[in-house]
Amino acid sequence: MHASDFPVWASLARDYLAIMGSSVSSEHAFSSAGITISKRRNRLKGDIVEALQFLKCLFQKDLIFQEHAPSSILEAEYADVAEDDGDPDWVDENPNTWDEPKPGLSGQA
Q: What is the pLDDT of residues 4-35, one digit of tens each?
A: 888 898 888 888 777 666 666 777 777 878 88
State how many domains the chain has.
Answer: 1
Count how many residues are written for the chain: 109
Give the residues of the chain that fall short of pLDDT 70: 19-24, 66, 68, 70, 76, 79-86, 92, 94-109
What's the CA gap between 84 and 57, in Å, rounded?
37
Distance CA 56, CA 33 (A): 10
For residue 98, being part of any structural domain is answered with no
Q: Which domain holds residue 52?
A: 21-67
At residue 90's C-alpha, the angle toward residues 85 and 95, to 5°, is 105
Residue 55 lies in a domain: yes
| Residue 98, helix vs strand vs coil | coil
Q: What is the pLDDT of residue 65?
A: 73
> So what's the pLDDT on residue 79?
67
In a domain? residue 106? no
pLDDT of res. 109? 47
Determine, yes or no, domain membership for 31: yes
Question: Does residue 14 lie within any of the structural domains?
Answer: no
